[in-house]
Amino acid sequence: MSGTDIKSLGAFVWSIAETLRGDFKQSEYGKVILPFVVLRRLDCILEGTKDAVLDLYDSLPDDIDEETRDMMLFGVAGQNIQVYNHSRFTFESLKGQDAKDIHSNLMDYVTKFSPNVRDIFLEKFLFTDQLKRLNDAGLLFTVFEQFTQIDLHPEAISNLEMGYLFEELIRRFSEISNETAGEHYTPREVIRLIVSLLLINDQEALTGSGVIRQVYDPAAGTGGMLSIAEMEMKALNERVLVELFGQELNPESFAICKSDMLVTGHNPENIAFGNTLTQDAHKGRSFHYMLSNPPYGVDWKKYKDDILAEAQELGMEGRFGAGLPRVSDGQLLFLQHMISKMRDDEQGTRIGIVMNGSPLFTGGAGSGESEIRRWMLENDWVEAIIALPTDLFYNTGIQTYVWLLTNRKTRDRQGKVQLIDASSDRFWKSMRKSLGSKRREIPPEACDEITRIYAEMLNGEAGWGEYSKIFKTTDFGYREIRVERPLKLAFEVTEEALEALQEAKPFAKLGDSEQTAILTVLRQSLPAGKRWLDRTEFDKNLTAALKAAGIKLPAPVKKAILSALSERDEDAKICTGKDGKPEADSDLRDHELVPLAEDWRDYVQREVLPFVPDAWVDQSHTDAQDGGVGRVGYEINFNRYFYKYVPPRPLAEIDAELKALEAEIAGLLQEVVE
């Protein structure tokens, strides 16, 4: 079947959806049409073995266990898919039934599928609810009859062509329900870009016969990434065997994805239902390619205990040993999960994942996010990061980024990361009609250009520096050193200081007589108006005065007195500890970020001491991993590397615009008055 025929078939199915207008919202069309497409495809696939399945089913003993029964019936049903139906009905026989019985007959047909498929229709699609709604609206027989006109037999439409049809329908239905589409649907051009980037350097490896590749998406949604990945790989080599795997948490999205696997001849059991982060359904497996668009900014608070337990118990042997991001955003958890499934062989693994800007720079040195970035960069897995245009997705206009990772970097990429800024209008065009927040799209020629920039590792050649730059992995690292400055305190007895002392907790806990005695000593023995610029001298005077009065102070009270009567003074002497070393002033403490490739001593000599000569570096502030001075951190700041200065508009232009707006508002107000 040609591409034109697929489009015609898609248009015909779409016309069936129009039958629902008035009784169903547009956003609900897919809940009816997609299950019907699956139902019709399965009916066509199973038609040739229907009688054999019924004969075997009727002959099986009542006490046979479910697993044995299913395996026997799968074998008779054939067609290389694990599904059977033991209803006496087919679409063909249902056509000849009385229209008033169509609801009960279809219910019989749907509920007598094998358990794995019955679960899709009943529990995930909630298809019986849709059948009832159609029947109540008097539309069920009309919709059913239209579907009987579609020939979805494998001889008429191949598995690959079925994939094109299903993907086209998913796209259409997702676009018309764009208020939620972004939760489970990634725009087709974004997927094609990711797949193109993953495959561009693998074209030779994918040619020939006997090539098998496994592709995985841990947040599979409706399966768009998986299906397009297969299509693009088949376009390179139609003989390549592509095995698709995924997991999805949303029931309806899972049903669509698993149905896609069913109607295109894949093993539907490779698509699992559940939370990938807490219930890894593909534990122990590894994959050639992984791609995903995990949810942005979605917290994992509900799963925190399970994830924290795995991280603590398994450490680097588990999925989350590198670190845990803040609980408000789980994107980096998905990425760590994918890295844990890299193949440890010569072929290795390539990963493409779409994330927002948060994983690039959120979190300082030592934070979970920074430690995860450190882990990836120090293992040299990050190959490239591409900044995409804004307004590409249906439910958000934020900037997104494609990360490419691999554990089989080519020699010329080792120790390097390529950053590509594809956010400018060179790489997108406006859509004729916005779909929710989606107002832009990446045209095919821009996709090809981005892929070429990546494949050729362009790094400023022929003006490409505006869009592509290559860095060493260490260029994103730094040491956060702690810079201290000495504490300098002056002391003076004032009424304000004494009031502050009386509010201090250690002093307030004393009895009234004790408080009065201390205040009397301070007022009489330490004369008002005198200012001590040396803490040691003031302490001696205070101790002598209290001793003369027969007052022995607990350490916390004396500390409270010194605190209340002191204030910072640049002219005062430096306060020292018992070891004679200067004490640090916590209020003046600062942190400097020293590039990882530079010695911190040289940095301090150049950037700190010329401005604060009395500063020093706290050498006890060290990194937990390498023990070096300062904590190691990593961040990737796109704006810093691709900053473009835009001069402000001339004041005269702004003034003219304001005057024009004022005139327009005045005109509108005049219309209201009249």
User: If we measure between CA atoms, which residue out of 133, 135, 144 comes closest to residue 43?
Assistant: 144
Q: What is the DSSP string of 528-549?
A: TT--BS-HHHHHHHHHHHHHHT
Q: Which two tokens stand for residue 551?
A: 């007052």
Q: Write out the two tokens for 425.
A: 């209008």
What is the dihedral sign for C-alpha 334, 336, 341, 346? positive
Taking the C-alpha atoms of 90, 93, 95 and 96 in order, what is their torsion angle to the nearest 10 degrees?
-160
> Is residue 185 very low, low, confident or very high in pLDDT (cuts 50, 70, 90)?
low
Mean pLDDT on 276-285:
95
Q: Helix, strand or coil for residue 592? A: strand
- Domain-located, residue 582: no
Find the mean pLDDT for residues 18-44.
Answer: 89
Residue 621 belongs to some domain of the structure: no
Verify that 81 and 193 share a domain, yes or no.
Answer: no
Task: Give the chain's mean pLDDT.
Answer: 90
Examine residue 659 and state whether it is found in any structural domain, yes or no: no
Q: What's the confidence (pLDDT) of residue 674?
A: 65
169: number of Cβ within 10 Å: 22
Domain identity same for 125 and 78: yes
Examine residue 653 and state whether it is found in any structural domain, yes or no.
Answer: no
- H or E element, residue 444: helix 444-455
Whether residue 267 lies inside any domain: the answer is yes
| Position 299 confidence tier, pLDDT thresholds 50, 70, 90 | confident
161 Cβ partners below 8 Å, 6+ apart? 1, 6
The tens digit of pLDDT for each residue in 399-439 reads: 999 999 999 999 999 999 999 999 999 999 998 887 777 88
Name the maximum alpha-carbon separation found in the chain: 115
341-349 average pLDDT score: 93
User: Would the pLDDT of 4 be above 60?
Assistant: no
pLDDT score recorded for residue 475: 96
Same domain assignment for residues 147 and 171: no
Q: Are residues 380 and 529 in the same domain?
A: no
Confidence grade of residue 462 (pLDDT, cut at 50, 70, 90): low
User: pTM (2 decimals)?
Assistant: 0.83
Contact between 333 and 303 (Cβ < 8 Å): no
Give per-residue pLDDT as tens, 202-261.
988 898 888 999 999 999 988 889 999 999 999 999 899 999 999 999 888 888 888 888
The more confident residue out of 298 and 137 is 137
Segment 307-339, tens digit of pLDDT: 999 999 999 999 999 999 999 999 999 999 999
Q: Is the pLDDT of residue 650 over 80?
A: yes
The residue range of the domain holding 14 is 3-157
Residues 227 and 355 in one domain: yes
CATH of the domain at 318: 3.40.50.150
Same structural domain for residues 130 and 254?
Answer: no
pLDDT-based confidence at residue 181 (cuts at 50, 70, 90): very low
Domain boundary among 539, 568, 597: 568
Whether the per-residue pLDDT at 158 is higher than 90: the answer is no
Domain stop point among 568, 601, 636: 568
User: Is the confidence at residue 7, as pLDDT, over 50?
Assistant: yes
Q: How far apart are CA 42 and CA 279, in angstroms?
A: 30
Using the predicted structure, report yes or no on whether residue 161 has a pLDDT greater than 90. no
Note the pLDDT tens digit of each residue in 514-570.
Answer: 999 999 999 988 877 789 999 999 999 999 999 999 999 899 999 999 999 999 999
Residue 178 pLDDT level (bands cut at 50, 70, 90): low
Q: Is the pLDDT of residue 596 over 50?
A: yes
Phi, psi of 241, rounded to the nearest 5 degrees: -95, 115
Q: Over 50: is that where the pLDDT of 61 sits? A: yes
**Same domain for 472 and 517?**
no
Helix, strand, coil percentages (3-state) for the chain, rounded to 5, are: 50, 15, 35
Question: Are both 149 and 177 inside the same structural domain?
Answer: no
Tell me which of 568, 601, 618 is where a domain ends: 568
The H helix count followed by the E strand count for the chain is 27, 17
- Assess whether 196 and 276 both reside in one domain: yes
For residue 433, what pLDDT is reported? 80
Please state, as a whole number, how many other Cβ atoms lie within 10 Å of the Cβ of residue 68.
10
Q: What is the pLDDT of residue 615?
A: 96
634 in a structural domain: no
The pLDDT assigned to 26 comes to 84
pLDDT of residue 27: 81
Report yes or no on 579 lying in a domain.
Answer: no
Per the model's pLDDT, the better-predicted residue between 95 and 386 turns out to be 386
Number of domains in the chain: 3
Tokens standing for residue 256: 């669509």
Same domain, 506 and 454: no
> Is 141 in the same domain as 263?
no
With a cut of 90, say whether residue 295 has pLDDT above it: no
Q: What is the pLDDT of residues 623-647, one digit of tens each?
A: 999 999 999 999 999 988 887 777 8
Whether 215 and 290 have beta carbons less than 8 Å apart is answered as yes
User: Residue 621: what pLDDT?
Assistant: 96
Q: Report the share of the chain in percent with pLDDT over 70.
A: 97
Q: Is 403 helix (H, G, I), strand (E, B) or coil?
A: strand
Q: Is residue 242 located within the same domain as residue 95?
A: no
Residue 467 located in a structural domain: yes
- Over the Cα atoms of the chain, what is R_g? 35
